Amino acid sequence: EVHLVESGGVVVQPGGSLRLSCAASGFTFDDYTMHWVRQAPGKGLEWLSLINWDGDRRYYADSVKGRFTISRDNSKNSLYLEMNSLRTGDTALYYCVRSPPGVVGTHYYLYGLDVWGHGTTVTVSS
Amino acid sequence: DMQMTQSPSSLSASVGDRVTITCRASQSISSYLNWYQQKPGKAPKLLISAASSLRSGVPSRFSGSGSGTDFSLTISGLQPEDFATYYCQQSFSAPYTFGQGTKLEIK
């Protein structure tokens, strides 16, 4: 069975740093593009970042560009999100999400985010 | 960045009703539009990809249509388990933005 399990969410002070991890199982990890998506309490979904199978393509939302870094270790079937300069507005449930490989053209086209983890909670508060 | 606008933001309906949720993109996204369902306390679930392609295991009462900038999700014959929040998402170009969501409630 396909599983994504996030970890690393904690309470951190504004300006602090954090690293989220996602352990994948039940599928060939390096066949897939991976994402981080977050959801602030009571709010909607916000796509944050994407990394393709070999890390050659990485994209970020403007809200986290320059502060967050996505990476993966295919030998460990793991996805990561390095989060720096954290703000209170980064408080959210962070989901690790899978998508089939994108189609390369003028843009990097995707066909949906098909497997989601249960999320890990990050709280930024003093 | 691409803006995705869903309407309505909330909707009340009864079991058995037919409902339609719309999603508009600020630029043409061809058919790179996905629909998700999220129930309270749960992760989102992909229902439809590429505007109209129903995912395996999703009931046929769900259908999607549209291309370019205007899209819709229709649920024909609402069931009790369909009351949830629905999100559209464009997968045409990064950042892959979501709509703000439509909360479907029982009337």
Q: Do B100 and A44 touch (CB under 8 A)?
A: yes
A110 — contact with chain B (CB < 8 Å)? yes
Q: Which residue pairs from A80-85 have beta carbons closer than 8 angstroms and sit at least 24 positions apart in sequence?
A: A80/A19, A80/A20, A80/A21, A80/A22, A81/A19, A81/A20, A81/A36, A81/A48, A81/A49, A82/A17, A82/A19, A83/A17, A83/A18, A83/A19, A83/A20, A83/A122, A84/A17, A85/A15, A85/A17
Q: Do B91 and A117 touch (CB under 8 A)?
A: no
For residue B84, what pLDDT is reported? 97
Q: What value does the mean pLDDT of chain A take?
A: 97
For A64, the closest chain B residue by CA position comes to B95
Instruction: Tell me the average pLDDT across A1-15.
Output: 97
For A43, the closest chain B residue by CA position comes to B100
Instruction: Render each residue's pLDDT in chain B as its tens digit; 107 residues.
Output: 899 999 999 999 999 999 999 999 999 999 999 999 999 999 999 999 999 999 999 999 999 999 999 999 999 999 999 999 999 999 999 999 999 999 999 98
B52 — contact with chain A (CB < 8 Å)? no
Instruction: Tell me the average pLDDT across A77-94.
Output: 98
For residue A105, what pLDDT is reported? 83
Which of B89, B90, B91 to mutate to test binding with chain A, by most A CBs within 10 Å of its CB?
A: B91
A111 → closest Cβ in B1, B49, B101: B49
- Per residue in A91-117, pLDDT (tens digit) is 999 999 999 988 888 888 899 999 999
